[in-house]
Amino acid sequence: MTAAPVVGVLALQGDVREHVAALTACGALPRPVRRPAELDGLAGLVIPGGESTTIDKLARAFDLREPLVAALRAGLPAFGSCAGMIMLADRLVDAPADQQTFGGLDVTVRRNAFGRQTDSFEADLDSGWPAGGAFRAVFIRAPEVVGCGPDVEVLASVPRPDGARHVVAVRQGNLLATAFHPEMGGDPRVHAAFVALARAAG
C-alpha cells in the first residue's frame, strides 16, 4: 500500500468540511487550499459546491486563480462538485458576463439549470456509474451539462419531465465533475473514484 495521496480541497467558500471528511474516508490526506503554495505537491484537488461567482471572486482576490489554472493545465487531477463543476467548465450559460471559470473541461454548463421551483432534490443516477449499485444524488441549485466536446465522457444523467436527460456527471482526462453533491449522503463511491484517478495520474 503506497502512502495516502494528499488531495487539496479549495477552501475559499462552500462545503469544504464535507469533502475533507469524504476524502479521509477514502484513504486520502485532505489539505485545505487557500494560498498558492498550498497547491504544491498535491495528487489532486477538489473544488467544492457553494457559490461559483463567490469562488471566482475570492480566487482572484487571493491570487490563487492563475496558479490554480496553471496547475490544471499541467494535468493536476481535479474533481468539481456543483459550483466546482461550474468552475471547471470552459463555457457557461446563465452566468453573469464577468464570471470567470478555471476551465479545463470542454463542456458548456448551465447554472441553476433545475429552476427556482426545484431548489434541491434527490434522484438516482441512471447509468451504472459509479459501479456498485444505484447512487442517490443530492442536487442543490444544481447546474447541468448542456454541451460536451469530443473528449468528454458522459458518466451519468437524470431524467427530465419531458423524457430527455440532464447530464450530471462527466469526465475528461484527469478532470471529473458532478452537478450533484456526493459529499452529502454518506456514499463514498464518487470520492473513491476520484482518489483512484488521482493515484493513477500520480
Indicate if 19 belongs to the active site. Answer: no
Candidate list 19, 65, 110, 111; residue touching ligand GLN; CB under 6 A: 111
Q: Does 91 bind ligand GLN (CB under 6 A)?
A: no
Could you say which of 19, 166, 181, 191 is catalytic?
Answer: 181
Q: Does 188 bind ligand GLN (CB under 6 A)?
A: no
- Other CB atoms within a 10 A radius of the CB of residue 186 amount to 10
Could you say which of 82, 144, 166, 191 is catalytic?
Answer: 82
| Residue with the three cell numbers 471566482 | 56
109 grid coordinates:
454548463
Query: In sequence order, which residues have a C-beta less than 8 Å from that of residue 23 and are 6 or more positions away?
Result: 7, 9, 29, 30, 46, 191, 195
Alpha-carbon torsion (173, 86, 170, 194), positive or negative: positive
Q: Does 71 bind ligand GLN (CB under 6 A)?
A: no
Q: Does 72 bind ligand GLN (CB under 6 A)?
A: no
Q: Does 86 bind ligand GLN (CB under 6 A)?
A: yes
When the beta carbons of 64 and 138 are compared against ligand GLN, the nearer one is: 138
Indicate if 183 belongs to the active site. Answer: yes
Indicate if 181 belongs to the active site. Answer: yes
H/E run at residue 157: strand 153-159
Q: Does 101 bind ligand GLN (CB under 6 A)?
A: no
- Give the chain's largest Cα–Cα span: 48
| Residue with the three cell numbers 431524467 | 159
Q: Does 13 bind ligand GLN (CB under 6 A)?
A: no
Binding site residues, ligand GLN, CB under 6 A: 49-52, 82-83, 86, 111-112, 140-141
Query: Which residues form the catalytic set?
Result: 82, 181, 183
